[in-house]
Amino acid sequence: MRKHFFKHCCFALLVTALLCSSISIPSFAGEIKDHWSYATLKQWEQEGLLNKEIFRSFHPDAAITRAEFMTLINQLLNFTEESTAIAQYKDVEPNAWYYTDIAKALAAGYMNGTSANTMNPLGQLTNEQAYTILARLVKTNGAFDLTKVSDHHAISSWAKTYISQVLTAGYVTGHDGKINPAAVVNWSHIIPLLDRFKNNDRIFAFPGVYSAGSARNVTILTDGVTLKDMTITGNLILSPAAKTVQTVRTTIKGTILHKDIDEILETYVLTDGIYEGVAQGYGGTVRLQVTIQSGKISQIAVLSHSETPAYWQSATPILEKIIQTGTTDNIDSVSGATISSQAIFNAIADALSQAKGKTKVSGQSKAAQESNSSDDDNSGYSPTEPNKNDYSKLFLPDGEYIGSAIGYGGTITVTVTVTNGVIAKVDVNSHKETNSYYEKAFPILDKVVAKNSTNVDTISGATVTSKGLLSAIENALVKVIPKEKEEYADGTWYGQGRGHYPYDRNNVKKGATEVKVDIKDGKIADIKLLHFGDDDEYERTVGYLKINKYIIQKNSIKGLDEIFAKKTHPIYDEVSRATNSARGYVNAIEHALKRSMKYKKDQKPQRIRSIQLMDIGIPGIHYDETIDLSNCTVKVSYLDGTAKTLNFKDLADEEITCNYPVTFTIEPDDPNHYDNQKDFELTFTHAESLSKHSSGLTASRKIVDLLFSKAVFADKEGNQLELPLNDNDFLYTIELPDNSPLKLGQLDTTTVQIFYKTEDGSPEPKANLKAATMYAYEVPMLQVDMETPIIKGSDKIISQNKYNSLQFYFKKKNAFNKNDIAKLEIAENPVKLKYKVGESLDLSGLKLILIDSDYHRFILDDLSKWNDYEISTIPANDSELQNSGEQEVIIKHKDNGIKTSFTILVEEDNEALDLIKVYDESGQTLWAEIHYQGDNFITLTIDKQYRENALAGKWSVKFFNKAGMEIVANKINIAGNVAIVDINDQELFVNLEFN
C-alpha cells in the first residue's frame, strides 16, 4: 500500500515540479489557443501547475532539452548528491548552468550519457529516452509484448525493457499502432502524459492483458484488452474499437462510458456561463440548467422532468456529487434508477457540449440526440439476430465481459459476469429501447442465467428488444475461449509437461516431466510420476502426492493455479521454492487428461506417447546461413512401449510436423545489430496424440577464429629463434641449449613476431601486437598480447584471434648469471619488522630474488652469502636503531641503480624506567626524585621534616618512563624507610635517607 502511495505522490510531484520550475523555456510567437493541447495547458494554468508567464509565451510544440529535463527532475526529487563521473563528459563545461544538475542525475542513476564521454545536454529528448527516465524513476513493474507495436524494430535495444514497463502501466497511447521511439518530445505531448500520471489515469492502446493495480479513469482504445486484478475508482471509457473487453477480478466503481475516438482524445476548455441541456429519461425529457464557473461545474438546476418520482428521488443525489467535484468524472449511476441517472449524465453532457463550443443550443449534442430518439425514428435500425448459443456444455473462464448489439431503439450494451464457468449475472449498461419494450424483455436475462444459454424463447411483445439483449450477451462472450466440460475416457494416459526448464535448451536434453494417469468410470483413479524433467533438487515427492490427492478428489486440476498464486495452501508449503517444477508436474497431468478427453470425443487411437529432439545435426546456428535440418534426429516413443529415432525427412510419415521447414535462415531483429543473439524455438508436434516437444535454440553472427602458425623471437644482436604454433595451445615451453645466444631481456614488440596460418598457402600475415612483456618466474616467461580488432554491430561475420594472449616459458640449465644482476625483488620479508629504539636490525628470514638481464632468477636466502653476490643493506644488519618511526631498509647491489626495499617500524620503549619519585602517603606531596641509572639499589635523600612519616612507612613511590608516562609496578612493599619493588620483571630496593 505504501509503495503505491509513494509512486502516485512521485507522479504528482513530478508534474508540479516539471511545470513550475524556473527553467528558461524559449519564447515563440503566435497564439496557441487553437492548438489541440490548449485545454490541458489551460487547465494546468488554472490549477497553478503551469507558470502563467510560460503559458503565455511558449509554444506547445517547443522541444525539451535533456538538461532542462534533468534540472526539473532534480528539483522535484531533491537530488543533492553529485557524481564525480561528470568529469568524463567532455561536452559538459564546469561553468555551465546545468553542470551540477547533470552530476546529480548521474548520481541518482536515471540518466546516462549519449556515449562514454558525451552527454549532449542541450540536445533534444526522444520518446524512448523520456519513457526510460520515467520508468527508472517510478520503477514500474511488468512486461509488454513489444511485437504488438508496429514500429518495435525502431526501439533501441537499451530502451525495450523500460518502454515495455510504461506500456504495461498504461501511460503511453502511441499513434496508429506506433510509439515513434525516436520522435522528439515536446511540451504538447509530455504534458498529457504527465497529466495521466498526476490523475492516476491509464490508457491502453494495444491488445493484451494488463494488471495496473488501482487507477482512476481507464480508457481503452483497441480491441482484445483484458483488465486483470484492477480497481477502477472512476470510469471505464471504451472507444468504438474496444468491442470486447474482458475483466478478471476487476472492480469498476464508476460508469462504463462509450465515446468516439475524437471525443476521447479531444481537449476542450469549458467556457464560463449558464447552459441548458436536455436528454430522454425513463418517463420523458429531462431538462437541466448547468452553470460553469472557473472552468468547472458550479451549479445544476432541474428545469423540468417527467420521471417516476421514486426513480427521480433515487437519482438526484448524483447532482450534488457532480457540483461538489465540478465534473461528472468518477460519479456512479444509481442502482435501481439507471435510466434516470443516465438521463442526468446525458443532459449535463448536452450542456457541456455548448460550454466546449461544439454545439450552439441545447439538444444538438450527440448525447441529447441519441437519448431523445423517439420510437418513430427506430425504423432505420436492423436488430442483431442472436445465434442462440448453448454454453451449458462449455466451461467459460471467470470474469466480466462487455458486449453490444442492436435492439429496437439502437445499441444495447451489457456486462456478462461468469462465475465458476457459468453465466452468473447479466447487467444492462446502456440501451435506447422504448421503456415499455425494455421492461417486457428484461426477464429474458434471468432465463439466460438459469439455462446458461442464449437458446431461450424471446419475449412476446418485445421480440426485437429480446433479440438485442441476447445478441449483446453473445457479443460479450464471442472472444471468450471456453473450455470443454471435462469428460474423460477410461484407460491409462501419458502426459508430459515442462516446469523449471520450459524446453530443452541448445540441445541439452533434460526431457519433460512425464506422468501416467489412470481413468476408471470417467473418474481420475490414480496418478504416477514416471520421469522428473528438472534438476533433482527441485523434486517435491510429498507435494506431488498432495497434488494427486487434490486432483483425484476434484476430478480436475482446477484451482491449482490459484493455490500456487496465493501461497497459503498446504500444497504450496510442500512445493515451496520449486513451484515451477510443480507446475510442470501439473502440466503433465493436464496433458494426460486432455488426451483422455480428446479420445472420449473422437475415439481416434493415439499411437504416440512422446517426442524428443535428440540431435539438431548442425554445429552452429548463424545469421544469414542456411540451417539444414536434414541430419536432425527425433526420438518418438509409442504407447506400445517401442521407440524409433527418425530423421527429419521421416517425420511426415508419422504425421509429426515442425514449425520450421527442413532448410531456413534466421535474421537478426535489427539489421544493424548482428551482435545481438536471437532465441527461437524448434517445435515438433503430433496433433492426433497432442504430443509436442520444443527445443530452445540461439542464432548469432558467425565468428571465425584466426589461428597462429609460428612465433619468431629475435634479439637486437641478430640472434633468432623460430617456434611452430598449434591450433589448440596458448602456452608453450621452450628448451634453450646452454650455449643459446638469444638475449631474452631484449624481447619486446619490436623483436617478436606472431604469424597467422593461411589455408591457401599464401604469405602468412603478421598479427598486430599490443604488448610483449617478460616476467621472471621460475623460468623466464614472455607474454605476448595481440591487438583486438574493432567490431561493429552491423558486421555479419567477424574474425578474431582464437587466443588474444600467448605465453612462452624459456628453460635453460645453469642459466642464472650472478655477474649480470639486473633486478632485485623480495621473496619474503624478515621475520622481525617491529623494533624498539636501541634494538639492532635483524634480517633473519629475509629471502631475495636475484634476476639477471635475461630474466633468469636465483633465490638468495643465506645472509652469509650476500657478499658473494655483492648485496648489502642500509642500515646494515645488526646495526643499532636509534630513531623512532617508520624506516626504510634499502637492499642494494654494488650498482646503486639496482635496489629494492622494505619498511620497519621503530617505537619508543615506553616500558623503560627513567624517573623515580617519592611522595607522602596520599601521593600528593613530592618529597624527592631521582633518575634511574640501572642499579637495583636506589637511595633518595629527603628533607628531615618527613623523617617521622618515612620511618613509619607512611610514604609512596611512583615510576615514570622518558615520555613522562607512569609505569605501574607489579608489586610494592614498604617497611619503614625501605621499599621493595617488582617492576618490569626486576626487583628494586628504594631506600630513604634524611638531610
Q: What pLDDT band is residue 262 in, cutting at 50, 70 and 90?
A: low
Residue 876 lies in a domain: yes
pLDDT of residue 20: 35
Residues 6+ apart with CB under 8 A from 362: 275, 276, 277, 278, 287, 350, 351, 354, 368
Residue 219 lies in a domain: no
The per-residue pLDDT for range 323-345, each reduced to its tens digit, is 887 777 656 666 555 677 778 88
How many Cα atoms are found within 13 Å in the side-chain-facing hemisphere of 138?
A: 30
CA–CA distance, 831 with 847 (Å, rounded to integer): 10
Whether 622 and 677 share a structural domain: yes
Q: What is the CATH number of the domain that holds 330?
A: 3.90.1010.10
Whether 366 and 384 share a structural domain: no
Whether 55 and 187 share a structural domain: yes
End-to-end CA distance of the chain: 90
Least confident of 68-77, 282-291, 456-465: 68-77
Total domains in the fold of the chain: 8
Structural domain boundaries, residue 474: 379-483
Residues 6+ apart with CB under 8 A from 728: none
For residue 119, what is its C-alpha cell? 552527454
Whether 73 and 139 share a structural domain: yes
Question: Pick from 372, 391, 421: which residue ends a domain?
Answer: 372
Q: What pLDDT band is residue 76 in, cutting at 50, 70 and 90?
A: low
Q: What pLDDT band is residue 314 in, cutting at 50, 70 and 90?
A: confident
Residue 328 lies in a domain: yes
Looking at the DSSP bridge assignments, the partners of residue 938 are: 990
**Which H helix or E strand runs over 560?**
helix 560-566
Comparison of pLDDT for 963 and 715, the residue scoring more: 715
Neighbour count for residue 952 (Cβ, 10 Å):
11
pLDDT of residue 59: 61
Rounded alpha-carbon distances, angstroms, from residue 777 to 647, 774, 826, 856, 872: 55, 9, 13, 8, 24
Q: Which amino acid is at 304?
A: S
The DSSP 8-state label assigned to residue 601 in this structure reads H
Whether 926 and 877 share a structural domain: no
Whether 117 and 9 share a structural domain: yes
Question: Pick from 907, 937, 964: which residue ends a domain?
Answer: 907
Least confident of 262-271, 370-379, 667-676, 862-871: 370-379
Q: What pLDDT band is residue 268 in, cutting at 50, 70 and 90?
A: low
φ/ψ of residue 379, rounded to 5: -65, -15
- Do residues 573 and 582 lie in contact, with contact meaning Cβ atoms separated by under 8 Å? no
Residue 440 pLDDT more than 90?
A: no
Lay out the sheet containing 937-942: strands in order across. 937-942, 986-994, 978-983, 971-975
Residue 51 pLDDT more than 60?
A: no
Whether 24 and 126 share a structural domain: yes
pLDDT of residue 139: 66
Our CA angle for 219, 225, 227, nearest 5°, is: 75
**48 Rama sector, left if φ>0, alpha if ψ -120 to 50, beta otherwise:** left
The per-residue pLDDT for range 782-823, each reduced to its tens digit, is 999 999 888 999 999 999 999 999 999 999 887 899 999 999
Residue 943 lies in a domain: yes
The per-residue pLDDT for range 587-629, each reduced to its tens digit, is 999 999 999 999 998 999 999 999 999 988 888 899 999 999 9
The per-residue pLDDT for range 156-208, each reduced to its tens digit, is 888 888 888 888 888 887 777 888 888 888 766 777 777 777 778 889 889 88
pLDDT of residue 380: 37
Whether 654 and 729 share a structural domain: no
Comparison of pLDDT for 889 and 409, the residue scoring more: 889
pLDDT of residue 28: 33
CA–CA distance, 65 with 648 (Å, rounded to integer): 57
Question: Pick from 483, 513, 548: which residue ends a domain?
Answer: 483
Residue 720 lies in a domain: yes
Residue 377 pLDDT more than 60?
A: no
Whether 600 and 680 share a structural domain: no
Residue 223 lies in a domain: no
pTM: 0.45
Residue 240 lies in a domain: no
Residue 30 pLDDT more than 50?
A: no
**Torsion on CA atoms 360, 363, 365, 366, rounded to nearest 10:** -160
Q: What pLDDT band is residue 378 in, cutting at 50, 70 and 90?
A: very low
Whether 961 and 903 share a structural domain: no
Residue 694 lies in a domain: yes
Average pLDDT in the 832-846 region?
A: 93
Whether 151 and 47 share a structural domain: yes
pLDDT of residue 715: 93
pLDDT of residue 56: 40
- Do residues 119 and 106 lie in contact, with contact meaning Cβ atoms separated by under 8 Å? no
Q: What pLDDT band is residue 265 in, cutting at 50, 70 and 90?
A: low
Average pLDDT in the 223-239 region?
A: 86
> Which residue pairs, CB below 8 angstroms and at least 24 apart, start in 208-211?
208/144, 208/145, 208/148, 210/168, 210/170, 211/142
- Do residues 395 and 483 lie in contact, with contact meaning Cβ atoms separated by under 8 Å? yes
Whether 527 and 593 share a structural domain: yes
Q: What is the CATH number of the domain that holds 888?
A: 2.60.40.3630
